[in-house]
């Protein structure tokens, strides 16, 4: 098996324990004292390793339920590093945004090919909700719909690394304040492209949908760029 070829030397005792004891999501793990005895390490050392695993999103720790394994997601690991980079230099978000654009472009065809008719209906509902917000009184920014539409297009890939990177992008997009960008004409153009993308997806016209995505991404150049060395909270 491939897993057996991967050297565990870089993993902590606790991470090796998780690897060796299956992948049952939400499975409850033994108490710290029992784990420390079984792993042959002190409770203090185990707590440190557990904190790393929790930061990586591999486990959750709650007072009443104890330690539980979580389904693997790449997002927490990406966010730990990305948050540090952007806090040190906010302009690095633009570099990450460029990576995100290339990821969506590269995976467009397999992603939309995997979508179901039910997925198409859901995407249309997001577009409708967005237009209701933009045409309502008062006007509302359809950021939740924007994020959900892009992520939904790629969720059927079943690739946790693609999804983790895209989820991290949207979390940081919000953190740096781009979710409150309020230029109405810009938002209208964005959702015109979104509507065309969804219509082409539903028609099975992958190439035309990709063309709409590409034009949409080029529109992002009209959005204000992040200012270098600016702090974000």
Instruction: Give the residue extent of every domain in the chain.
Output: 2-69, 75-222
Whether CATH 1.10.10.10 fits 2-69: yes
CB 51 within 8 A of CB 143: no
**Reduced to 3 states, what is the DSSP secondary structure of residue 50?**
helix
Q: What class does CATH assign to 75-222?
A: mainly alpha
CA distances from 127 to 71, 89, 122, 142, 168 (A): 30, 34, 9, 9, 22
Tell me: the pLDDT tens digits for 26-56? 688 999 999 999 999 999 999 999 999 999 9
* Residue 28 DSSP class: B
Per-residue pLDDT at 228 exceeds 50 = no
Q: Which of 20, 17, 28 is nearest to 60 (CA)?
A: 28
Tell me: the pLDDT tens digits for 124-133? 999 999 999 9
Tell me: the pLDDT tens digits for 129-186? 999 999 999 889 999 999 999 999 999 999 999 999 999 999 999 988 877 766 788 8
E-assigned strand segments in the chain? 59-62, 66-69
- Token pair belonging to 67: 């330690």
Q: Which of 172, 174, 122, 180 is nearest to 148 (CA)?
A: 122
CB 192 within 8 A of CB 134: no
């Amino acid at each position: 098996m491939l897993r057996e070829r991967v050297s565990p030397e870089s993993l902590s005792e606790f991470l090796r324990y998780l690897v060796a004891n299956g992948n049952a999501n939400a499975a409850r793990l033994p108490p710290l004292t029992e784990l420390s005895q079984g792993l042959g390490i002190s409770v203090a050392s185990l707590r440190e390793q557990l904190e790393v695993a929790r930061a990586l999103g591999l486990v959750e720790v709650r007072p009443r339920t104890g330690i539980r394994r979580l389904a693997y997601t790449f997002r927490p690991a990406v966010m730990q590093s990305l948050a540090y980079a952007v806090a040190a230099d906010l302009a690095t978000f633009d570099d990450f945004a460029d990576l995100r654009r290339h990821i969506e472009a590269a995976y467009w065809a397999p992603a939309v090919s995997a979508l179901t008719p039910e997925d198409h209906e859901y995407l249309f509902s997001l577009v409708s909700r967005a237009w209701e917000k933009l045409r309502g009184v008062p006007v509302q920014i359809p950021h939740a719909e924007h994020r959900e539409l892009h992520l939904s297009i790629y969720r059927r890939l079943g690739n946790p690394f693609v999804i983790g990177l895209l989820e991290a992008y949207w979390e940081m997009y919000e953190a740096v304040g781009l979710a409150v960008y309020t230029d109405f004409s810009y938002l209208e153009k964005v959702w015109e492209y979104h509507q065309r993308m969804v219509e082409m997806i539903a028609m099975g016209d992958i190439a035309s949908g990709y063309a709409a995505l590409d034009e949409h991404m080029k529109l992002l150049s009209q959005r204000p760029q992040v200012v270098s060395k600016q702090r974000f909270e």
